[in-house]
Amino acid sequence: MTIERGAKMTCQYKVNPFVTYDLNDELIIQTKVGIDKITEKNRAKLILELRNSIGKTIDGDTVLDFLNKLKIDEGFLDYLFNRQIVSKKIPLQMGLQDIYFYSPDKSYSKKIRKIFENEEKIKILDTEEDLVDKVRLNQSDLFIIFYREYSKAEAIGWRDLFKYHANTFSSMAYIYNEYLYIDSLYSAKWNLPCHLCHKGFIENEHRIGAEENVTYQIMIDELFESDHGFKLSHSFSNSQELNILTQLCNFITKLSIPTSRLANAHSPFINGAVFDIQENVLSKGTTRHWELCDCYE
């Protein structure tokens, strides 16, 4: 493996996660492909330098500078790539630039930030203002919004913002009637079904599907009608909260899969997901436009 100098825009490399152990005068390194022992001191120093950049992107010149600084032969590059300490950076699928996560529930934002702290393409937004500012850039970024307490009025506002900034991609995740719903990706430019399409079908299902005289959805309709700012709240056990977090992380991870694995990662663009929180069952299905929605006009 060789790296040419001066090609910073095309030669981007990611430092993958690995673990090191100091053992007397040796450095033990554990990667996802195995465990090795490094006895040469300068090579060990290089590994420790790279450890400080785990999850980050470095350019080819930086890698060469590391080698030159420590007087290491460029042949050591083969080891770094073969052991997957460093790998060539591959763009995100479908031309996505960055993935942003936002939730009014700060506990979820904090956990998501910790889980993806070494993924520079996955970024956590702390405030609505931060989210609006990023959306208004109108770039090919993906925005994932999670509502632990669902607000229909706020969701409509976000859908309208994404519709206006047509270069963006978005997905709404929300808890509704003991289910976690995760919308397939919405893009106004691509004319994909929006959040209100998803929600329209969900509400119809809850209105019609129950045998009770007053269904869950009829009660929710009345609450939303009397208070447009009404937010749905739910109470779950710690294990159920963990299951919800797991589904969100799985969704984000799948969307961060690079283009080289597009065939396996394509489903979030066309498929929505429903997670039964009580039964711990995940279902997926293709979404379509709701006839009463204005997103395709």
**pLDDT band, very low/low/confident/very high, at 1 (cuts 50, 70, 90):** low
Does residue 127 share a domain with residue 84? Answer: no
Radius of gyration of the chain (CA): 23
- Considering only residues 3 and 102, tell me which one the structure prediction assigns the higher pLDDT: 102
Query: Does 122 map to a domain?
Result: yes
pTM over 0.85: no
Query: Does 216 map to a domain?
Result: yes
What single string gives the DSSP state of each residue in 153-187?
HHHHHHHHHHHHSTT-EEEEEEEETTEEEEPPPB-
Does residue 109 share a domain with residue 16? Answer: no
Q: Which has the closest alpha carbon to 56: 12, 117, 14? A: 14
Does residue 175 share a domain with residue 270? Answer: yes
Does residue 247 share a domain with residue 131? Answer: yes
Query: Does 292 map to a domain?
Result: no
Strand residue runs (E) in 93-141: 99-102, 122-125
Does residue 129 share a domain with residue 154? Answer: yes
Torsion angle of the four alpha carbons 77, 83, 88, 93, in this order, in degrees rounded to the nearest 10: 180
| Per-residue pLDDT reduced to its tens digit, 254-290 | 888 765 554 554 567 778 899 999 999 999 888 888 8
CATH number of the domain where residue 194 is located: 3.40.50.720
Query: Does 3 map to a domain?
Result: no
Does residue 166 share a domain with residue 68? Answer: no
**If DSSP codes are grouped into helix, strand and coil, which group holds residue 31?**
strand
**Which pLDDT does position 206 carry in this prediction?**
65
Contact 174, 181 (CB under 8 A): yes
| Per-residue pLDDT reduced to its tens digit, 239-248 | 999 999 999 9
Query: Does 82 map to a domain?
Result: yes
H/E stretch holding 199 reads: helix 195-208
Domain tally, the chain: 2
Domain coverage including residue 82: 12-88
Does residue 167 share a domain with residue 39? Answer: no
Does residue 251 share a domain with residue 108? Answer: yes
Query: Does 233 map to a domain?
Result: yes
Pairing of strands 12-15, 271-276: unpaired
Domain boundary among 88, 123, 155: 88
Residue 165 CA to residue 180 CA, distance in Å, equals 26
Contacts 24+ apart (CB under 8 A), 260-266: 260/90, 261/93, 262/93, 262/94, 265/93, 266/93
Q: At what angle do helices 238-255 and 106-115 cross, to 10 degrees?
A: 50
Residue 70 CA to residue 44 CA, distance in Å, equals 10
**If DSSP codes are grouped into helix, strand and coil, which group holds residue 52?**
coil
Does residue 152 share a domain with residue 22? Answer: no
| Per-residue pLDDT reduced to its tens digit, 82-105 | 999 998 887 777 788 999 999 999
Domain boundary among 57, 88, 119: 88
Query: Does 182 map to a domain?
Result: yes
| Per-residue pLDDT reduced to its tens digit, 108-159 | 999 999 999 888 889 999 999 999 999 999 999 999 999 998 888 899 999 9
Does residue 251 share a domain with residue 179? Answer: yes
Does residue 227 share a domain with residue 150? Answer: yes
State the residue for tokens 């910790």.
Answer: 114
Domain boundary among 39, 56, 88: 88
* Structure tokens belonging to residue 143: 């925005």
**Which pLDDT does position 88 carry in this prediction?**
84
Does residue 114 share a domain with residue 67? Answer: no
Query: Does 256 map to a domain?
Result: yes
Burial of 89 from C-beta contacts in 10 A (0-12 / 13-18 / 19+): middle
